[in-house]
Amino acid sequence: MAGGILLIVSGPSGVGKGTVCRYLLSMSDTVKLSVSTTTRSPRPTEREGIDYHFTSPSRFKEMIEEGAFLEWAIVHGHYYGTGLEAVQNSLFYGEDLILEIDVQGAVQVMQKLPEAISVFLAPPSLEALEERIIGRGTESTEKINSRLTTARQEMESYYLYDYLVVNDQVENAAELISAIIDAEKCKVSRGVRPPGWGGERQ
Ligand code: 5GP
C-alpha cells in the first residue's frame, strides 16, 4: 500500500501559509502538521508542543550538531527547524504530514527527500503581499523593509516547486492543496494498486 504524503507548504513571508495550513487541518481528520522547533519567543496564544517546540539558541545549535533536524533556517533573526525523527515516524506510520516552512527550508527538504511534494503558496499580487507585510502593524520601518526585500526574493524561487497555489481566499487555497494531496494519493508511481491486487509490483 502507498504510504503517507510529505507535503511542503512554503512561500514568501506574509503570504498566509499558517492560516491556509490551519484551514487545511480543519478540513481533514488524517492530515497532520509538523511541529517545528524555534528560538523565537512564544506569542500569547501559542502553546509549547502544539504550535512550536520553543527552545534557546544554544540548545538549538546543539540539536543541529546532533543531526536532529531534517532542515533548519534562520528566519527574521530566529532559528527554525523541522525535527527529523518526527518526520521519519510519520512516514513510517503512513501519515500525511505537512511541513509549513520557509523557502530556505523547503529547498533543503526537496534535496534530501525528493519524494516530498512541494507547494508554493503565492499571493494574488506582489502589491497584495506588500500590503499584508506592512499591515501587520507594530514593526519598525527597517524591519518592514527587510521583510519586503526577503519576500520579493522568496517569490523568485516558485519554479523549484511541484505546484503553485494562489492564496486569493484561504478556503480556495486550502481546497486546492487538499485536491493535490488526493491526486498524489492516486498516483500509480507511488505504489497504488487496484483493489485486491496485492502490495508489490510484479
Ligand atoms: P512565525 O514565527 O511567524 O511562526 O514563522 C516565521 C516563518 O518561519 C514562516 O515563514 C514559517 O513558515 C517559517 N517556519 C516555521 N517553522 C519552520 C521550520 O521548521 N523551518 C523553516 N525553515 N521555516 C519555518
For ligand 1, whether the C-beta of 81 sits within 6 Å is: yes
Q: What's phi and psi for 173, nearest 5 deg?
A: -65, -45
Q: Which ligand 1 atom sits closest to the C-alpha of 106?
A: 22
Residue 82: partners with Cβ closer than 8 Å, 6 or more residues away: 34, 36, 37, 69, 70, 71, 72, 99, 101, 105, 109
Find the 186 Cα to ligand 1 centroid distance in Å: 30
Domains and CATH numbers, the chain: 6-190 (3.40.50.300)
Q: What's phi and psi for 194, nearest 5 deg?
A: -60, 150
Q: Please tell me the distance from the alpha carbon of residue 132 to that of residue 134, in angstroms, as a whole number.
A: 6
Find the 97 Cα to ligand 1 centroid distance in Å: 16
Q: Residue 70 corresponds to which cell in the numbers above? A: 531534517
Task: Read off the pLDDT of residues 163-175 as tens digits, 9 standing for 90 and up.
Answer: 999 999 999 999 9
Q: State the pLDDT at residue 191.
A: 87
Mutate to test the pocket of ligand 1, among 8, 20, 36 (most ligand atoms within 8 A of CB): 36
Find the 200 Cα to ligand 1 centroid distance in Å: 38
Identify whether the C-beta of residue 121 lies closer than 8 Å to the C-beta of residue 9.
yes
- Residues of the chain falling short of pLDDT 50: 1, 202
* Closest-CA residue to 32 (of 87, 111, 83): 87
Q: State the pLDDT at residue 143.
A: 85
94: alpha, beta or left, given left = phi > 0 and alpha = psi -120 to 50?
A: left
Residue 161: C-alpha distances to residues 7, 13, 44, 151, 190 (Å): 11, 16, 33, 16, 18
* Closest-CA residue to 6 (of 67, 79, 102, 70): 70
Alpha-helical segments (H) within 28-118? 57-65, 84-92, 103-112
Q: Please tell me the distance from the alpha carbon of residue 137 to that of residue 139, in angstroms, as a whole number.
A: 6
Closest Cα to atom 9 of ligand 1 = 102
